[in-house]
Amino acid sequence: MAKLKKFFHLSDPEYTAKFQRLCGVYLNYQSDQPSEGSLENENNSCTVRKRIGLQDCRKNNIIENQNHQNESHDTVFRTPKSEADRIWKHLSMFQKSLFYILTCASSLGNEAFYLLFYPYVAWNMDSVVVRHTNVVWTLCMYAGQAAKDYLIWPRPTSPPVVRLETDFLQEYAMPSTHAMSATAIPFMLAYSIIHRYDISPVFVISIAICWCLLVCLSRLYLGVHSVLDLLCGVIASLIIILLTVPYMKEYDMFQQSHPIAPLVVFGISLALSTVCYPNAKDGSPYTAKADAVQIVAVSAGVTVGTWINYQFGFTVDKGQVFQAQIVIPTITMMAESLLRFVIGIVILGALYSVMKKSSVHFFSYVFNLEKPNKKHPSVEIGYKFVTYYVLGFAIIFLIPYIHFLLGLGRTAYFNEVQ
Give me the active site residues, please. Answer: 178, 225
* Interatomic CA distance for residues 415 and 6, integer angstroms: 52
* Interatomic CA distance for residues 182 and 234, integer angstroms: 8
* Interatomic CA distance for residues 98 and 112, integer angstroms: 22
Crossing angle of helices 248-257/127-151, nearest 10°?
A: 100
Q: Is residue 324 classed as helix, strand or coil in its secondary structure?
A: strand
Crossing angle of helices 227-244/177-196, nearest 10°?
A: 40
* Interatomic CA distance for residues 142 and 135, integer angstroms: 11
- Its sign, for the CA torsion 364, 370, 374, 376, is negative
**Concatenated DSSP letters of 90-116:** T--HHHHHHHHHHHHHHGGGSHHHHHH
**How many CB atoms are closer than 10 A to CB 365?**
11
Q: How far is CA 358 from CA 30, 127, 304, 355, 362, in A?
A: 51, 30, 21, 5, 6
Helices (H), 177-226: 177-196, 201-221
DSSP state of 38: G
* Interatomic CA distance for residues 251 and 307, integer angstroms: 12
N residues, the chain: 418
**Concatenated DSSP letters of 50-105:** HHTT---SSGGG-TTTTT-TTS-HHHHHPPPHHHHHHHHHT--HHHHHHHHHHHHH
CA 246 to chain CA centroid, Å, is 24
